[in-house]
Amino acid sequence: MTFCVVGAGFSGAVIARHLAERGHKVVVVDERAHIGGNCYTERDTETGVMVHKYGPHIFHTADERTWAYVQKFGTFKPYVNRVKAISNEHVYTLPVNLLTINQFFGTTMGPKEARAFIESKADKSITNPQSFEEQALSMIGPELYRAFFYGYTRKQWGLEPTQLPASILKRLPLRFNYDDNYFNHPYQGMPEEGYTAIVQNILNVEGIDVRLGCSFESLEEDFQHVFYTGPIDRYFGFRLGRLGYRTLDFERFVDDGDHQGTAVINYCNEEVPYTRISEHKHFAPWEQDKFSKTVCFREYSRLAGENDIPYYPIRLVNEKKMLESYIELARAEKGVSFMGRLGTYRYLDMDVTIKEALAACDVIDTAMQASELSLPAFFVDPA
């Protein structure tokens, strides 16, 4: 059988390889001139530093199957994401932990004392937080919220925190120890040769035809099934409207030596127009000392236009209603499955994208055993 996979990111690559290994022909199309999607990495021509072109990506997961899978296609070096934040001209460590609390309040509290102190700051009248702001005030109180989250969130989302769902903040940790590892997953690392090499190795199997700079709409072949990882609203010609996304602009600059001493610094004050600066040599500590120059990117967030790269699905009330209508159209469509961040209009980390693609492969195998191929429109409910 011949299949089409739209999108050469992790979702598409995993599905394509799985089908090719089972003897099928797979056409992988991507409008960009490269594979890897937003995880694309390349060597900066001026400095030699490995750059995450579409913003920092740190691999972290608790799923053993996902971790074992990616390691088959490249070497992952140990890497711990330690984020710093500048608020009101002071440097702090994130996520909010015991050091952050003691730094901010000028105290020397221990874990129990700090926990009780933060509980005294929290707004106990908020028993069922509905918005980002209510979630923050009920967790950490007004001082830490204003210092680290209010301005940053307004810049990142272009909305008041009262308009954003509480779920955005729920995934951010609050710790009463000195652990400044941003993630708490047991498996964390960075690919030694970058993410592009990982995706290339996944796609490097007989039976896959990768076509770059090619749109799905331009294809004329017939396929037994299409796995679509592009924007779900685009598949239907935006007939119900465009789903909302935030996009990012990057301002590149080069410096001698070491510019900021760490990979990522968040700028929490609203008067600073960018959300963070990333210094990419620090994402590869095993090689950072060999570069005499360093390359950094200031990151600006704004509402995505028609020709912008979509990064973060907004998923507010209007978008959710529109998404539900697109889901109905998708379920009625024959011969196509929607996958990944854009196909399901969900914010997904890399590991979740791969985990869901591997689970979809299991469903595909079961369906292949039937006399007639029947695959769902969604392997994960996007609603």
Cis peptide, bond prior to residue 95, ω within 30 of zero: yes
Contact 113, 152 (CB under 8 A): no
**CA angle (113, 169, 131) in 5-degree steps:** 110
| Model pLDDT, residue 371 | 66
**CA angle (286, 11, 168) in 5-degree steps:** 80
| Model pLDDT, residue 316 | 84
Of residues 161, 114, 111, 157, the one with CA closest to residue 133:
161
In a domain, residue 279? The reply is no
Task: Give the pairing of strands 90-94 and 245-256.
Answer: unpaired
User: What is the average pLDDT value for the chain, to the nearest integer?
Assistant: 95
Q: Give the strands of the sheet with 336-338, arranged side by side.
A: 208-212, 25-30, 2-6, 225-228, 336-338
In a domain, residue 259? The reply is no
Same domain for 157 and 199? no
Same domain for 326 and 211? yes
Range name among 31-40, 149-158, 169-178, 275-284 with the lowest pLDDT average: 169-178
The 10s digit of each residue's pLDDT in 175-185 is 999 999 999 99
Same domain for 26 and 134? no
Of the residues 169, 201, 219, the one at which a domain ends: 169
Both tokens assigned to 197: 């090499």
Same domain for 95 and 155? yes
Catalytic residues: 171, 175, 246, 276, 299, 347, 349
Task: Give the pairing of strands 90-94 and 83-87.
Answer: antiparallel
**Burial label, 116 (beta-carbon count in 10 A; 0-12, 13-18, 19+):** exposed
How many domains does the chain divide into? 2
Residue 65 has pLDDT above 80, yes or no: yes
Same domain for 165 and 202? no
| Model pLDDT, residue 370 | 76
Same domain for 109 and 194? no
In a domain, residue 136? The reply is yes
The 10s digit of each residue's pLDDT in 123-146 is 999 989 989 999 999 999 999 999
The 10s digit of each residue's pLDDT in 71-118 is 999 999 999 999 999 999 999 999 999 999 999 999 999 999 999 999
In a domain, residue 214? The reply is yes
Same domain for 340 and 199? yes
In a domain, residue 23? The reply is yes
Task: Give the pairing of strands 2-6 and 225-228.
Answer: parallel
**352: domain range?**
2-42+189-240+315-369
Question: For the whole model, what pTM was predicted?
Answer: 0.94
In a domain, residue 125? The reply is yes
| Model pLDDT, residue 302 | 96
CATH code, 31: 3.40.50.720
Q: Give the strands of the sheet with 276-279, arranged side by side.
A: 90-94, 83-87, 264-267, 276-279, 293-303, 245-256, 312-313
Same domain for 110 and 217? no
Of the residues 169, 203, 218, the one at which a domain ends: 169
Same domain for 90 and 163? yes
In a domain, residue 53? The reply is no
In a domain, residue 64? The reply is no
Same domain for 225 and 320? yes
Same domain for 226 and 320? yes
The residue-averaged pLDDT of 161-173 equals: 82
The residue-averaged pLDDT of 263-279 equals: 97
Residue 369 has pLDDT above 90, yes or no: no
Which stretch of DSSP H or E encloses residue 266? Answer: strand 264-267
In the structure, what pLDDT confidence band is assigned to residue 319 with cuts at 50, 70 and 90?
A: confident
Same domain for 129 and 236? no
